[in-house]
Amino acid sequence: MSIMIQLIGDGLVLGAFYSLIALGYTMVYGIIRLLNFAHGDFYMFGAFIGYTGLSLVIGGPFGSSLLAIGLVFIITIILAGFAGMGVERIAYRPLLNAPRLSLLITALGVGFSLQYGSMLIWSPNHLSYPVKLPTAGITFLGANITYSQIAIVIVAGILMFGLQRFVHGTLYGKAMQAIAMDQTATSLMGVNINRVISITFFIGTALAAAAGLMAAVYYGTINFYMGFIMGLKAFTAAVLGGIGNIQGAVLGGFLLGILETGGTMIIGGAWKDVIAFGVLILFLVFKPTGILGEKVTERM
């Protein structure tokens, strides 16, 4: 029982990171049918922005207090969100009417630009994060659950709930749903399509940056290549839950986190990537629409 609870606790933390990144994948795909493979690199970008911000505030009057970390967290996700909007405006918007392959190749180029740009700005080496979360926690039925793990899952849950309320309770959220259903008809109704797409990129990249910052303070180290594998696994989570479905992205992220953590405990950490991508292959073969996804018929 203690092993099972520990597995679920660790899996929920990892799943929270996957879910936050997967939400960006699924939102962009739902609106413009783009598999934005540069999205995982905003996870890395957020970690590096947070690194700079925390390095600056630690020597100030607030030190490494929760107030300082919270302030850096908010600034990081805002800056990353605007960076995402800039990428959409410069790299993706001119190609919205181009073949999907052109957008996919552009996304790969944007990802490499973010990776090696971050390497030039910060460092090609692994960097130790200026703030590390405390290891104190509670013992529940023999399993050790830290307060940091609880806080990460709660913050991720708040962000996910906020996104859900935004999509279903605001005009821009309803516009996103309308564009996902029929972009041409939505445009004819007077909705500014480009503005809604920009807001979608802002939210998606902000969530990925939030995951990057939380993962950085949780694990303690960062590097310029950290977003590549994480992005592919988050894409796996989106496919697992049903890409284009917000609830599916959340479900897929947490499920993948628990499966990967359980597999690591059973067969070893060297196989964790094999487990994640093995799940992706199985779902693509037997249920390509994912758990909550629906089969879509292309209309002519």
The confidence band for 189, taking pLDDT boundaries of 50, 70 and 90, is confident
* 240-283: pLDDT as tens digits: 888 888 888 899 899 988 888 887 777 776 777 788 888 888 88
The residue count for the chain: 300
Is 140:147 a contact under the CB 8 Å cutoff? no
Q: What is the pLDDT of residue 149?
A: 86
Residue-range domain boundaries for the chain: 2-286
Mean pLDDT is lowest, of 12-16, 118-122, 219-223, 292-296, for 292-296
The whole-angstrom separation of Cα 137 and Cα 149 is 9
The whole-angstrom separation of Cα 4 and Cα 115 is 37
* 20-52: pLDDT as tens digits: 999 988 988 888 888 888 888 999 999 999 999
Q: What is the pLDDT of residue 61?
A: 62
DSSP state letter for 139: E
* 80-132: pLDDT as tens digits: 999 999 999 999 988 888 888 888 889 899 999 999 999 999 988 888 888 87
The whole-number average pLDDT for the span 53-62 is 76
- Judged on CB neighbours under 10 Å (0-12, 13-18, 19+), 141 is exposed
Q: What's the pTM value of the predicted model, to 2 decimals?
A: 0.89
The confidence band for 1, taking pLDDT boundaries of 50, 70 and 90, is low
The whole-angstrom separation of Cα 147 and Cα 218 is 11
Q: How far is CA 237 from CA 27, 169, 177, in A?
A: 13, 25, 21
Strand bridging mode 143-146 / 137-140: antiparallel
The whole-angstrom separation of Cα 41 and Cα 205 is 9
Whether the pLDDT of residue 79 is over 90: the answer is yes
CATH number for the domain formed by residue range(s) 2-286: 1.10.3470
Whether the pLDDT of residue 300 is over 60: the answer is no
Q: What is the pLDDT of residue 298?
A: 40
Whether the pLDDT of residue 296 is over 80: the answer is no
* 62-74: pLDDT as tens digits: 666 677 788 889 9
More confident residue, 5 or 50: 50
Structure token digits, residue 291 = 């758990």
Strand bridging mode 137-140 / 221-222: unpaired
Query: How many CB atoms are closer than 10 A to CB 274?
Result: 12
What sections of the chain are H helices per DSSP?
Answer: 2-32, 39-58, 66-87, 100-121, 147-169, 171-181, 183-188, 193-219, 226-241, 246-267, 272-286
